[in-house]
Amino acid sequence: MTRTLLLTIGLAAALTTAAAQQPAPAGGARIYNTVKTKLQQGRQVVGATVGIPDAEVYCAVANSGFDFTWIEMQHSTLSYTDVARMIFACKGAPAIPFVRVPDATEGDIQKATDMGALGIIVPMVDTVEKAENAVKFAKYPPIGRRSQGSGQYGAVWGADYRASANDNIMIVAMIENPAGVAIADKIASVPGVDVVFVASTDLGSFSGLRQGDAKYESLVTTVLEATTKAGRRVGGPLAWKDTRKGYSFFQGPSETALLRTGSKVTLSGQPDAGQPRGVAPTEGSER
């Protein structure tokens, strides 16, 4: 057994022991999904999109101020091994790991939750059954039928994970076509669905309409009103954050876009926040 593996196992055991010493609050399970807490408080949350299989890049994003990471497994070559390593390498980061799974299948959702994802983002939800399956496969009995196998979830979230997982795992249902819009009220009413997300680009692609067109905006309004009436949160692209009312869950830019933005800021000569002009940062201090 390699020294690295021994250290990893030892660290996981230490984290699990420490978490076990933190009692659950009286009257309910321990809540550690800060995204859920913030939404319940009426706040907006923003997640950065991650699709590069690099733990250092992931940690840089997860510690940069975002509320969650939108780990992209539908439109990337990320494997579950890649994502598990990324989540484990940056456990304790402020950004909560959410995974957009390829589909609402039992295998995809089981692996995503076993590796520590607290948010399951389901694409192309245009049937009630798909929304129900997402909840069923993500939640333990008696709510769902998630099996209790091995995984790193305990090392990431604590020894009380089995008792607290159902109260922390969130389901985000993405509506991307007119068929989904037509049953948005039914999707939003599925018990266990927390957020209904308007996929702006694909909604335009499938409808043949553009943002700003009256018919497109009517589709968006239908989802917004149905979701709000059901008492669920509404999600959308970050560009809608300050321009549309009623939205509170946003998908932010990718790590490559953030790198481009950071490069432009650096080359413009603007100092980092808190760094006096003319003073070089200490090497090795970056996180």
Name beta bridge partners: 45.
249
User: 250 has which bridge partners?
Assistant: 46, 236
Q: What is the CA radius of gyration of the chain?
A: 20
In CATH, the architecture of 31-266 is Alpha-Beta Barrel (3.20)
pLDDT at 119: 98
Residue identified by tokens 């068929």 is 179
Residue 229 belongs to what H/E stretch? helix 214-229
Instruction: Name the stretches of the chain with pLDDT < 50.
Output: 1-26
Q: Supply the pLDDT for residue 26.
A: 47
Q: Which residues are catalytic?
A: 75
The 10s digit of each residue's pLDDT in 222-261 is 999 999 999 999 999 999 999 999 999 999 998 888 888 8
Classify each residue of 253-268 as buried b or exposed e, where b means 16 or more C-beta atoms within 10 Å of its C-beta: bbbeebeeeeeeeeee
Q: What span, in angstroms and rounded, lies between the C-alpha atoms of 42 and 44? A: 7
Cα(239)–Cα(234) distance, rounded to whole angstroms? 14
Please say whether the beta carbons of 175 and 198 come within 8 A.
Answer: yes
Q: What is the pTM of this model?
A: 0.85
Residue 275 and residue 285: Cα distance in Å, rounded? 12
Say how far apart CA 156 and CA 164 lie, in whole Å: 13
Name residue 68's amino acid.
Answer: F
How confident is the model at residue 263, as a pLDDT?
Answer: 85
- Positive or negative: CA dihedral 54, 200, 36, 172: negative
Instruction: Using the structure block, give the residue that is written with the tokens 């970050």.
Output: 238
Interhelix angle 200-207/214-229, rounded to 10 degrees, is 130
Could you count the other beta carbons within 10 Å of the beta carbon of residue 279? 8
**Identity of the residue numbered 116:** G
DSSP secondary structure string, 139-182? S-TTTS-------SHHHHH-TTHHHHHHHH-EEEEEE-SHHHHH
- pLDDT given for residue 284 in this prediction: 63
pLDDT (0 to 100) of residue 265: 82
Instruction: Give the Cα separation of 26 and 24 in Å (integer).
Output: 6
What letter would DSSP give residue 238?
Answer: G
Q: Report pLDDT digits (tens) over 168-181.
A: 999 999 999 999 99
